Amino acid sequence: MRTLQSLNELGLEVFEEMLDYADELQVGVIELENGTVVADAGVEAKGGIGAGIYLSRLCMADLADIQPTPIEIDGITIPGVQVATDHPAISCMASQCAMWQIKAGKYFGMGSGPARALARKTKELYEALEFEEFADVGVLILESDSIPNVEAADKIAEACGIDPADLRLAVAPTDSVAGLVQVSARVVETGLHKLFTMGFDIRTIRTGWGRAPIAPVVGKATKCMGASNDAIIYGGETYYTVDYEPFDELLGYLKATPSDTSRDYGAPFYKTFKECGFDFFKVDHNVFAPAKVVMNDLKSRRTLVAGRLNPQVLKESFGFEVVNREG
């Protein structure tokens, strides 16, 4: 399975466009000693919603239309992000899914985006997708609270089989506006990932659409990570067009997909994570899914709905405080 143009070439076009508008997006541009160019969307630079949209486009190799959208939570309207793609398996799983831990000395970041496909992180996924990527350039998005160093860039370039000078990195921390935008833009991918882990052939998904609120900055990185997960777990809505049979099997997958099938559903993620001693392996991973999933099945011509939105948990997670004016 191939796209008309390599994922990294598509990503490079977006990266260069992002740099063209660096001042407007409040993005910093840094060239490391090895020639790697880094776009800072929130570590030292301010970044914002616009920078977050560019990060999201980079993550999906620009194979999706990604736009800000208003979302109402129990009468309170906040910004959200909407994603639509006609290449869900490739844009979401081959590119966007954050499956690459970058460790180099004291540096740590979670990597996602086109360069993952060059490094084949993870190999089993690309074999299942029957997808191969070939490119002389690499584009990777890092969720990290620090600017990647030369050691990290060299390590990434080596894994991708490219020269460090041909590597482009974009970085934003979890507790930044841009970082929170790109997490919410993973709403369609989160559903695909859940289906993939259950054994569903995600290549049968023809289109994907979704939206989720953008979590506010509620504290330091761990608290923001919790709120950003809740944006999808309790506020994420997805719609997939699928071409799948048999129907009964599809129905079984759909019923098991939404987040409310998890034993850990019902409380803000930060609270659950804290009760698990901040150990991800103790969290039921079935909770990492959109709140609501709709599937339009092209075989049966039926449209199925599972899951539910949960504004009450979102309000608690986001820390909404209603301020009343005294008379």
Q: Could you give the percent of the chain with pLDDT greater than 90?
A: 96
Locate the domains of the chain by residue range.
7-318
Mean pLDDT, range 242-270, rounded to an integer: 97
Asked whether the beta carbons of 11 and 58 are under 8 A apart, the reply is yes
Mean pLDDT, range 257-267, rounded to an integer: 98
Nearest residue to 204 via CA among 257, 243, 248: 243
Report the alpha-carbon distance of residue 221 to residue 194 in Å, rounded: 24
Q: Would you state the pLDDT for residue 4?
A: 57
Tens digit of pLDDT for each residue in 55-106? 999 999 999 999 999 999 999 999 999 999 999 999 999 999 999 999 999 9
The distance between the two most distant Cα atoms of the chain, rounded to a whole number of Å, is 67
Tokens of 65: 């239309």
Helix, coil or strand: residue 300:
coil
Q: Enter the CATH code of domain 7-318.
A: 3.30.1030.10
320: burial class by Cβ within 10 Å (0-12, 13-18, 19+)? middle
Cβ-based neighbour number of residue 5 at 10 Å: 13
Tens digit of pLDDT for each residue in 159-186? 999 999 999 999 999 999 999 999 999 9
Report the alpha-carbon distance of residue 323 to residue 219 in Å, rounded: 20
Report the alpha-carbon distance of residue 69 to residue 236 in Å, rounded: 13
Report cis status (omega within 30 of 0) of the bond before 311: no
HSE, CB side, 13 Å, CA atoms: give it for residue 26: 15
Mean pLDDT, range 22-33, rounded to an integer: 98
Region of residue 291 (left: phi > 0; alpha: psi -120 to 50; beta: else): alpha
Task: List the beta bridge partners of residue 138.
Answer: 167
79: burial class by Cβ within 10 Å (0-12, 13-18, 19+)? middle
Q: Would you state the pLDDT for residue 1?
A: 46
Nearest residue to 8 via CA among 154, 161, 189: 161
Tens digit of pLDDT for each residue in 194-213? 999 999 999 999 999 999 99
Mean pLDDT, range 4-23, rounded to an integer: 95
Tens digit of pLDDT for each residue in 293-303? 999 999 999 99
Task: List the beta bridge partners of residue 305.
Answer: 294
Angle, CA 131 vertex, CA 37 and CA 257 arms, to 5°: 100
Cβ-based neighbour number of residue 228 at 10 Å: 28
HSE, CB side, 13 Å, CA atoms: give it for residue 228: 25
The model's pTM is 0.96
Tens digit of pLDDT for each residue in 115-150? 999 999 989 999 999 999 999 999 999 999 999 999
Find tokens 């019902």 and name the residue. Answer: 266
Helix (H) or strand (E) holding 255: helix 247-256
Instruction: Examine the pLDDT at 311 and tell me if it is beyond 80.
Output: yes
Q: Would you state the pLDDT for residue 324?
A: 84
Mean pLDDT, range 306-322, rounded to an integer: 97
Cβ-based neighbour number of residue 29 at 10 Å: 13
Cβ-based neighbour number of residue 240 at 10 Å: 26
Q: Could you give the percent of the chain with pLDDT greater than 70?
A: 98
